[in-house]
Every structure is written in C-alpha cells, then in structure tokens.
Homo-oligomer: A and B are copies of this chain.
Amino acid sequence: MNDSVNILIIEDEEDINHLLCNIIRTNGYTPKPAYSGTEAIIYIESQKWDMVLLDLMLPGLSGEEILKKISKESSVPVIIISAKLETQTKIDALRAGADDYITKPFDIEEVSARIDSCLRRYRHMPDVSITNQIHHKDLVLDTDTKMAIVNGNELNLTAREYKILFLLMSSPKKVFTKANLFESVWHEDFYGDDNTINVHMSNLRSKLSKANPNEAYIETIWGMGYRLKS
C-alpha cells in the first residue's frame, strides 16, 4: 500500500504546477503541489519525500534557501526546474545539493525521463521505467516505441505529433491553449502562427481517425484550445 512514490512540487505558477502533477501521476507516482516556499517548508517537515521538484523563482522564501534547507536536513533528491539558464546559477544549484537541473520552458517527456532516472539512481533500481504506456479509452501512447495504438493498429507519428499527443494525454481533462502548446511542445515563449497548430492537429486527427473512423479522440474547445475527448 504505502510503497507509493511521493513527489513534492514547489512551483508558484498554477498551470505549471498542475502540468507537473499530471506528468508525475502519469508516471505512476504521487504528486503533491506546493505553491510557495512557506507552504513547501510545512510539507517538507511533516513527512518524508521520495523527490522534490523545485522552482528557483518563488515569491517570499526563495528557491535557493529551500534548496539549502532541504540538503542540510535530508538526502531527498531534488530536481531544479527554472527559467534561469545561466551556467553559474546551474552550477550553484548543483553545488548546493540539487541532483538535476531543467530549464523552462521544458519538454515534458524530458522531465518525465529525468524524474525516472533520478529515482532509479537513488533507489538503485533496475533500468526499467515503471510505465511506458499512457492509456486513454482505446487510445494508447507507447513512450518506448513512440507509437500510438488505436484499435490494435500501430501508428507512426512524427516527433511533433507525438509530443502534442503526449501532452494532451498527460492531462486528460485539461484544455490546452495554443499558447500552452507553443510552450510545451515547441519550447517557445513567443507565440507562433496559430495555423501551425491547426495543421498539426489536423494531421494528427487524420492519422488517428484512419485507424478508428468511429471515434474522435481530440476535441476542439471553441475559442480556447484542445483537449482529449473523454
């Protein structure tokens, strides 16, 4: 029962925190969001954690301070997630006890992979990641083969298509705006041409519906964006 893997997420931006929670849940672990440094401290002191994801830019108590506190008091692995991409910041963080450092905007699969690999290192676990498939209704995304499986048909996806679908499936109920997509799939803060996304969505949909014409897997939310159809 209590062999669940608990991961604390310290990140003040709600959107990003939720996204990280979903990634972690998808990977089979148990996420706990904290939205400020002071909130985080309470959680840190109240129970043991298997891992901490920490944003450096926090209101109030800074990420650096939290990092110091954590590494002084425990040996829990910490992955920094930060918009600061200066090498020096990175080095400082790693010196201060961080185990890995990911810059924003991040690739969700990379985050996923690094969490796995960090956990593996810590627990001396064998090199088999716990889950390599994401399921949603009869749609399966295989993160090993990078294929979608619909109706038993294996579909080859391009890198972009795969990443879009991965994102949608990682948060099944969430509506992803085009800005969200540009950030998570393209890793760009600025917004590209909306039509770029239209076209990719169209291509992705047509691959999926070729495998199962009776079902629409991706839903358009008018004026908002896209989500997985539930």
A residues sitting closer than 8 Å to B (CB atoms) are 3, 14-15, 18, 21, 25, 31-33, 35, 100, 110, 113, 117, 124-128, 130, 144-146, 158-160, 162, 171, 173-175, 179, 183-184, 189, 221-224, 227
Contact = CB atoms under 8 A, between A and B. Distances in A.
B15 A159 contact: no
Q: Give the number of copies in the complex.
A: 2
A52 B179 CA distance: 22
Q: Which 6 residue pairs are nearest across A and B when measured between Cβ atoms?
A: A159-B223, A144-B174, A146-B175, A145-B173, A159-B224, A146-B224
Nearest to A221: B146
Contact of A183 (B117, B221, B227): B117
Nearest to A114: B189
A222 B162 CA distance: 12
B33 A162 contact: no
Contacts of A117: 183, 189
A10 to B, nearest CB: 12
B175 A145 contact: yes
A87 to B, nearest CB: 12
